């Protein structure tokens, strides 16, 4: 009886841990595009377009122009559905050329997650903080990483996350400020994690241990 109880407990514990959805689904680390340049390097538009050609839009060509149109782009990550799980951390990384944040004011007009979650301030802070707070000069390539606030975690649980970016002038050109602000989007990454293992797994294992102990105690009575 004792041996059967112990064997059953070991098997059941293994099943609980192995089938736990948090262990099976996280962490999430999805990417669109590939980083082609060193952070902080100076890159020409032609060099950029050649390097990113063939990647999914909008990471396949320079977006907008410093003299004719602000960059406007969106992209969507698809990953495992996280419904029922508690997200503990989420970060977005963006490789971008020529954001021109050394110019006056903020160069990010809008950065929105899933149509409602406003990340504009967070991306502006990351951009304006480059080079010790001086911002990015003309034609600089930067890898920006920002944390997504916990108040938006529920909007990440469905398994899709769409980011919409719009830049604004002034930009920077070889002759100084420009009316608009184009940029090159090289790649983006989304990282999501949850507590591991989940709390209910610990509860089940604890109850299982109590049950086994009661069986063993009964067998020795």
Q: What is the pLDDT along the chain (221 residues), one digit of tens a residue?
A: 555 544 455 555 555 544 454 444 569 999 999 999 999 999 999 999 999 999 999 999 999 999 999 999 999 999 999 988 999 999 999 999 999 999 999 999 999 999 999 999 999 999 999 999 999 999 999 999 999 999 999 999 999 999 999 999 999 998 889 999 999 999 999 999 988 554 455 555 565 556 566 655 665 55
Residue 42 DSSP symbol: B
Angstrom distance (rounded) from CA 140 to CA 128: 13
How many folded domains does the chain comprise? 2
Let me know: does 85 contact 196? Beta carbons within 8 Å.
Answer: no
Are 187 and 92 members of one domain? yes
Are 104 and 38 members of one domain? yes
What CATH number has the domain bearing residue 63? Answer: 2.60.120.1200
pLDDT for the residue 175: 83
pLDDT for the residue 92: 98
Domain hosting residue 83, numbered range: 27-196
Are 111 and 156 members of one domain? yes
Are 53 and 119 members of one domain? yes
pLDDT for the residue 111: 98
Are 34 and 59 members of one domain? yes
- How long a stretch of residues is the chain? 221
């Amino acid at each position: 009886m004792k041996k059967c109880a112990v064997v059953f407990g070991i098997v059941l514990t293994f099943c609980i841990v192995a089938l736990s959805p948090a262990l099976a689904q996280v962490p999430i680390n999805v990417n669109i595009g590939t980083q082609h340049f060193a952070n902080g390097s100076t890159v020409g538009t032609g060099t950029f377009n050649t390097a990113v050609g063939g990647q999914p839009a909008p990471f396949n060509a320079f977006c907008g122009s410093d003299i004719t149109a602000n960059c406007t782009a969106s992209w969507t990550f698809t990953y495992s559905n996280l419904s029922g799980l508690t997200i503990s951390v989420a970060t977005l990384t963006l490789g971008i050329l020529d954001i021109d944040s050394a110019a006056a004011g903020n160069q990010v007009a809008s950065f929105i997650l899933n149509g409602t979650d406003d990340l504009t301030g967070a991306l502006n802070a990351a951009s304006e903080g480059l080079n010790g707070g001086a911002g990015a000069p003309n034609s600089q390539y930067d890898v920006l990483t920002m944390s997504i606030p916990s108040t938006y975690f529920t909007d990440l649980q469905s398994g899709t996350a769409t980011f919409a970016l719009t830049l604004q002038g002034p930009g920077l050109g070889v002759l100084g400020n420009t009316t608009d602000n184009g940029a090159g989007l090289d790649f983006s990454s989304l990282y999501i994690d949850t507590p591991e293992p989940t709390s209910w797994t610990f509860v089940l294992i604890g109850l299982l241990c109590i049950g086994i102990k009661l069986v063993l105690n009964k067998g020795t009575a």
